[in-house]
A and B are shown apart, each in its own frame.
Chain A
């Protein structure tokens, strides 16, 4: 009897070691291959400025409430309060000690598209690499060239405020196996216009719209079957609207109405953008007219979904 327990115990121990080993291997950081990185060294800073605003980098990485040129001082510090804890955006200025001044364009690509640092640590998906994974390598190259023109800001941002088990970065390797993919989300018909395809690229890639506008499952990954259907806001008590063609806020809007909203922040009846969307609209206002038109075109054709947040309680 005692021997049986001992054997069972030994067996469990071996199984445990095997599982831990498998877990370690499965959660390893995965870097982009040389083939995937082809073209990473031909960046252009002028094009990179557009990528910078499409990606919304300054909204998290500049100081809170930064305006104008201060949006290019990327010392970090913005706090993103979520159910997993509080994430604090790091310094991504060109400072070599406290920022990413030492990063090559390949380093930037691995961070943005695979969520791994040059040292091989996993980044938390509060940094929306799950969207940036869908970007073109040439855009990352251009962004790197543009970032090189931004000022050095000294001082590291404070560390994230997380509790166990979320402090365990290695675990993200397993999370990525489920939630990180570079596949497009919406299946557009083959004859979709170039404009719609460009809008898909901008919205699903650098624009990372789905990260706020899509509900998440228990693991914190977006629920692709409810893409852009709205969600509870990560911070605070509000919601982020449903922006599929069924969304109450947008269903009566024309493509031109969407474009006007992106450009000026005004709705068709002259209500105004508010909350976290203000920063987004300020970034959208920096893009070309064609790119705003493209995003609007995409939004008009995404599958319609019911709201991604719970329905209101009946009023009685």
Chain B
């Protein structure tokens, strides 16, 4: 009996640790995405100087980081604990996938557009930026103790 309890406890602990990896990874990707997007938005607003090479590197990083955000980072049960992932994700996996697909597509479009001035960068920033709130509206939740 003791062995069984210990085994179950060890299993539960390892599953929790395994999930902790996904939660941390996706939170890090989101932070990286925010940082990249912020730099681009500030460039559009004139708070940072426009440098085509820098902008391209940021757009490429943005595309690559968003590509890392996939449903694999949202295993069932990973809405428990310190995460702002809403239970709605698992109630509407199709809808969630649709948002992820659009984000991947739009950031790829933006990187491919290779904007050479603030005005064209602004168009790409607008395209990509619309994805954030649209997904968070349904799939993000604030919890106590965060």
> Interface size bucket, A side?
20 to 34
The main secondary structure of chain B at its interface with chain A is: helix
A residues with a Cβ closer than 8 A to B are 232-233, 236-241, 248-249, 264-266, 269-275, 278-279, 281, 307, 309-313
The main secondary structure of chain A at its interface with chain B is: loop
Residues of B within 8 A of A307 (CB): 144
Residues of A within 8 A of B34 (CB): 269-272
Residues of A within 8 A of B141 (CB): 236-238, 274-275
Q: Is the CB of B144 within 8 A of A239?
A: yes
Measured CB to CB, the closest approach of chain A to B44, in angstroms, equals 11
Measured CB to CB, the closest approach of chain A to B31, in angstroms, equals 8
B residues with a Cβ closer than 8 A to A are 30-31, 34-35, 37-38, 41, 84, 86-87, 129, 132-134, 136-137, 139-146
Residues of B within 8 A of A248 (CB): 146
Residues of B within 8 A of A272 (CB): 34, 132-133, 136
Given known contacts A271-B34, A273-B136, A274-B136, A266 and B41 CB-to-CB distance under 8 angstroms: yes
Given known contacts A266-B41, A269-B34, A269-B35, A274 and B143 CB-to-CB distance under 8 angstroms: no
Q: Which of chain A's residues has its CB closest to B134's CB?
A: A278
Q: Which of chain B's residues has its CB closest to A272's CB?
A: B132
CA distance A264 to B84 in the complex (A): 21
Residue in contact with B133 in the complex, picked from A236, A270, A273, A309, CB distance below 8 Å: A273
CA distance A236 to B79 in the complex (A): 13
Measured CB to CB, the closest approach of chain B to A272, in angstroms, equals 4
Q: Is the CB of A281 within 8 A of B133?
A: yes
Residue in contact with A270 in the complex, picked from B35, B84, B86, B143, CB distance below 8 Å: B35
CA distance A313 to B38 in the complex (A): 34
Name the 9 nearest CB pairs between A and B, nearest first.
Answer: A312-B145, A274-B136, A274-B140, A272-B132, A270-B38, A270-B34, A278-B137, A238-B141, A265-B133
